[in-house]
Chains A and B, each alone.
Chain A
Amino acid sequence: MNLDELYQEVILDHYKHPRGAGLREPYEGESHQVNPTCGDEITLRVHVDGDKIGDVSYENVGCSISKASASVLYELVSGATVDDALARLAEFTELMNSKGQGEGDEETLEDAVAFAGVSKYPMRVKCALLGWMAFKDALVRAEASIPGRTDA
């Protein structure tokens, strides 16, 4: 197998220098996700500000793929509109389920296209999606806690 394809420079960079790491206030939704096969964990908070994702903050233990993925997630969705964030979530999930066939749109997914190679390794797809599952769950919780928001 081609290790460079899996561990692209951009993934290793996010792993070694995670963006937006640490848990912050304020937040309306929090989610804790575990990968039971390896014990990797993430706690992720979402702060919704009007129709935008005001902040995403997180604390995680895990492999390079899961940690880099959370860092890329932060860059993509923090400050984005809720609708755009959900679109990125759908796009990234589709890319991870593409079994090596997808390339990802660099215009929208930015650094996250580096994960295209991960989709060839079924054992690692769960690692890449852990943070995104936490984001999805935390966002649902955040929206549910905001009066008048029931459409999430």
Chain B
Amino acid sequence: MEAVTKLDVEAIRADFPILKRTIGDRTLAYLDSAATSQKPVQVVDAMRRFTEHSNANISRSVHTLGAEATEAYEGARARVAAFIGAPSADEVVFTKNSTEAINLLAYAFQNATLDPHADPRLRLAPGDEIVVTEMEHHANLIPWQQLAQRTGATLKWIGITDHGRLDLESVPDVITERTKLVSFTHVANLLGTVNPTSQITARAREVGALVGLDASQSVPHLPVNVAELGVDFIAFTGHKMLGPTGIGVLWAKADLLDAMPPFLTGGSMIKTVTMEQTTFADAPAKFEAGTPPIAEAVGLAAAVDYLDALGMENVRAHEKELAGYMLERLETVDGLAIIGPRVPIGRSATVSFTLEGVHPHDVGQVLDAEAVAVRVGHHCAKPTCDRFGVNATTRASAYVYNTHEEIDRLVDALGKVRKVFT
């Protein structure tokens, strides 16, 4: 393991012009990176350079620009594959975002279920089980819920303890011989919990189920190596990891991608086509119908370069330190209750909380007046809200560019919230 060094936050901040922005007369304190991260100039410049210099469609044209664009797009794929420790770039499918990546998988199951010749691992019938957790983002809940409803399979879930951790004791009961798929969040977007994976993946293997992760909140913040995790697939998105919107990733093992029927069909994903029949290209092209997000892939590769230069171990250490500071300071606010783990162990620097007697919308509004940007609402995790008996939370989330001073400003602004509403 590489030695952990402290991030040079001042130097990092200089790469993010937006952090100099003022709201009213205050400098922005951006604590909403779990919703979307900001982009460094390196990412913006890479996309502009590509657009101004090499823009063309990929895999079609023999001209110079076409070749450059194809090289840039496929180079981005290889870059992302290396970043997550994928054995082959062909295992990386570019999608629109994590939601589309997970839907791509869910529809592969659905389409396989309709095809008697499809791989039996992907075919569902009444009695089969799909397992998620109670702390999923809707992106890793609703596609499976809908798939279960359409195929007659049963959706089951691993519950959450009062401390905001997965109830791992229930794993042997929830994941059974009837389970065909386990898909769970690596890092919970509302609670900030970093889930231990080995017990769940081991149990999934034991019963012969496929297993994968919603890694939307982990790939940007922790070293993630798919080989070490021992999973069949992960999904994540570019815009939460310093990259652009409009591009996400599904990584899956080659043999799984081979067995999966396509989700979207059309241009670029075929081998041969007649009016009656089509044969499909091999993965990843089979899953990338239509012109893909090319400039966005270039931007994502630049974001990966940026994160690699920082070192993901250093990123993790920086955020662990910020998580500790944020938890400690928030606990000093009267009437504040943290929803999720209260210690900076096995948790991210994403902290949800409620403020007694004040609705999160009002909290967010007063914080905005102090130029502190947080997210309020149910964070696309309504079942998690229900589990903790709240309608909504306020969520502050930190990343590589955040400082103690910004967390102090959050805490000071929360004091002002109480003054307005009590």
Contacts and interface: CB of A to CB of B under 8 A. Distances in A.
Interface of A: 1, 3, 6-7, 12, 37-41, 61-67, 121, 124, 127
B180 interface: no
26 contacts: A1-B23, A1-B368, A3-B369, A3-B420, A7-B420, A12-B420, A12-B421, A38-B360, A38-B361, A38-B376, A38-B377, A38-B378, A38-B391, A38-B392, A39-B385, A39-B391, A39-B392, A40-B361, A40-B392, A62-B361, A63-B360, A63-B362, A64-B421, A66-B361, A124-B365, A127-B361
A62 B360 CA distance: 9
Most buried by A among B23, B365, B368: B365
Nearest to A41: B391
A119 B362 CA distance: 15
A28 B420 CA distance: 38
A7 B422 CA distance: 13
A66 B391 CA distance: 14
Contacts of B392: 38-40
A6 B360 CA distance: 16
A12 B382 CA distance: 28
B24 A1 contact: yes
A111 B420 CA distance: 19
Contacts of A1: 23-24, 368-369
Given A37-B377, A124-B365, 10 more contacts: A1-B24, A1-B368, A3-B366, A12-B420, A38-B377, A38-B392, A39-B378, A40-B392, A61-B391, A64-B359
Contacts of B368: 1
Question: Interface residues of B toward A: which range?
Answer: 10 to 19
Kindly list the 3 A-B residue pairs having the minimum CB-CB distance in the complex, ordered from nearest: A63-B361, A63-B359, A38-B377
Contacts of B362: 7, 63-65
B385 to A, nearest CB: 7
B138 to A, nearest CB: 11
A6 B421 contact: no
Contacts of B360: 38, 63
A104 to B, nearest CB: 21
A9 B360 CA distance: 19
Contacts of A7: 362, 365, 420
Interface in B353-408: 359-362, 365-366, 368-369, 376-378, 382, 385, 391-392
Contact of B382 (A39, A62, A67): A39
B363 to A, nearest CB: 9
A106 B382 CA distance: 39
Given A1-B368, A38-B392, A124 B420 contact: no
Given A12-B421, A38-B360, A64-B359, A6 B365 contact: yes
B107 to A, nearest CB: 24
Contacts of B365: 3, 6-7, 121, 124
Most buried by A among B362, B368, B369, B376: B362
Contacts of B23: 1
A64 B355 CA distance: 13
Interface in B323-369: 359-362, 365-366, 368-369
Nearest to B365: A6
A12 B366 CA distance: 14
A114 B355 CA distance: 25
B224 to A, nearest CB: 30
A41 B378 CA distance: 13
Contacts of B366: 3
A48 B359 CA distance: 32
A62 B376 CA distance: 12
B372 to A, nearest CB: 13
Most buried by B among A3, A40, A61, A63: A63
Nearest to B359: A63
Interface string B179-209: 0000000000000000000000000000000
